[in-house]
Each structure stands twice: as C-alpha cells, then as structure tokens.
Structure 1
Amino acid sequence: MEEPVVIGKDKFRISEDETARRELRVLKVHDDVIQIQEEVHGIIALVGASSSVNIKREELKNLIKVAKEEFGWTDICE
C-alpha cells in the first residue's frame, strides 16, 4: 500500500493546559477511491460510532492537487 500524502497540519487548544495536534492525509486505496485520514493527538478520549473529517479550504485545494498530480485524476475540476 502507498504512503499517505499529508495535505494539512495544525494545532489547536483543547483547554488551558492541553493543545492537540492534527494531521490530514490522503491515501489512494484503488484507482477510483481515495481515503481521507484525520489524525488528532492530545485528546484524552474520543467516543462514538460515527466518523467525520474537518477540512479547511487550503487543505481541499491540496487534496485536489494531490488527486490530480499524484493519483492521475485529471478529470476533476478545482
């Protein structure tokens, strides 16, 4: 399996004492399937059955660029 491509990184304050790190990555799973991975470090516990990814405007631009240049998806627009 290929290595994920990092399309965004940032830090945000959880409390006065704790800051979390976030990294957003994209991975090509199949010729027509990509996976967005959001990794957050610093939160004590996450509980739930659903999952979502927050994506910033610049990260979306980076995602489109990676999909075109790294994965050969030339038929998508910006």
Structure 2
Amino acid sequence: MPEVKHIKIGEDKFKITEEEIARRELKVTKIGDEVIQVQEEVHGIIAVVGAVSSVNIKKDELKELIKVVKEEFGWTDIC
C-alpha cells in the first residue's frame, strides 16, 4: 500500500478572544490518480459538526495547491 502524503499548503492564526488564538492549516492529499482531498484543520476553538462541510482557501493557497498537484502529484493538465 502506498504511503499517504499530506502536504501543507497554507497556515495562519487568528484571535478568538483576548486569551485564545486559533490555528488553521490547509493540507492536500492525493487519494488516487484522479482524486485529491483538500483538508482544513482549525485548532483552538470548539466547533459544531454538521452535514455541510467547506474549505476556505486564499488566493496564495490556491496557487500553492496548483503547484503541488503539478509537481508532487503529476497532474500536467492543470492550469
């Protein structure tokens, strides 16, 4: 079984309260030859999990995502 490689393409911190800072990481993982997974992890706050999921991605993170899928995952037809 091939090793699963998670590649971090972005991170930042933001203030929740005077005392608490949350940390966010955005990672991409190759699931198969035609499928990737973009995962956003937020640490430091309590979140309610629902049926809807979304990932916030910044412009520079999108550029990094495109670079990673080309260079690391071999997707040559991404522009």
- TM-score normalized by structure 1? 0.92
Aligned to 1:75: 77
Aligned to 2:25, the other structure's residue is in SS state strand
- TM-score normalized by structure 2? 0.91
Partner AA of 1:64 in structure 2: I
Identity of aligned residues (%): 70
Which residue, 21, 32, 35 being the options, matches 2:34? 32
Which residue, 5, 8, 11 being the options, matches 1:9? 11
Which residue, 60, 63, 67 being the options, matches 1:61? 63
1:55 CA drift (Å): 0.3
Q: Extract unaligned runs of 5+ from structure 2.
A: none
Aligned to 2:46: 44
Number of equivalent positions: 77
State the 4+ residue runs in structure 1 displaced beyond 6 angstroms: none
1:45 CA drift (Å): 2.8
